[in-house]
Amino acid sequence: MAVRDDIGSHGEAIFVVRIMNFCGGDRPFFRPRFLGEKAQTYDYLVELTGTGDRTPFFFAQVKTTRQGYTARGRRLKVGMSGRDLRRFSLLSAPTYLVGIDERQEVGYILAILEGPKGPISSLPTNFPLNDANLPRLHQEVEQFWQGRDMARRHSVFSV
């Protein structure tokens, strides 16, 4: 395994620890599910906890770096290709890019919304994966799914 793969694996482990932070509660807000090495664009399907019978979720791509931050704007030096960005923005579910600073073991999250034009070359550090933002993320994703009737009422495979 190459060093780059080891850094990526370490970043994914940091993501799991950060996203599963209990934030002083009885359980974490999220349960991440790794989608496997072969999954294109989407690294994790992340389920929300504490939502009753429903299981709201979001998708995340995790990018890890040891390169630090830009001098101007203090942005983390991770990126996402234009192709992956377009694929992410077309999905009818919440999607996020997560940047991990492997040396400091901190992470930052950025929502990927409709209509991005080109690649992302660095990630803003406005939204760290911490006790303040995890409840906000949970609320945002839960509100997204509350407004949708996802009941399956018809199938060509039902009798």
Q: According to the model, what pLDDT value does residue 116 have? A: 65
CATH 1.10.8 assigned to 3-146: no
Mean pLDDT, contiguous 10-residue spans, the chain (159 residues): 83 97 94 88 94 91 96 93 88 95 97 83 96 97 87 80
Phi, psi of 17 (to 5 degrees): -65, -45
Contact 28, 17 (CB under 8 A): no
pLDDT in tens, 32-52: 999 987 777 899 999 999 988
Q: Enter the pTM of the model.
A: 0.91
pLDDT in tens, 118-136: 899 999 999 999 999 999 9
Give one word for 56, left, alpha or beta, with left for phi > 0 and alpha for psi -120 to 50: beta
Handedness of CA 39, 48, 18, 140 (dihedral sign): positive
Pair of tokens at residue 26: 């009885």
Instruction: Spell out the SS3 assignment of the chain.
Output: CCHHHHHHHHHHHHHHHHHCCCCCCCCCCEEEEECCCCCCCCCEEEEECCCCCCCCEEEEEEEEECCCECCCCCCECCCECHHHHHHHHHCCCCEEEEEEECCCCEEEEEECCCCCCCCECCECCCCECCCCHHHHHHHHHHHHHHCCCCCCCCCCCCC
For the chain, what are the domain ranges?
Answer: 3-146
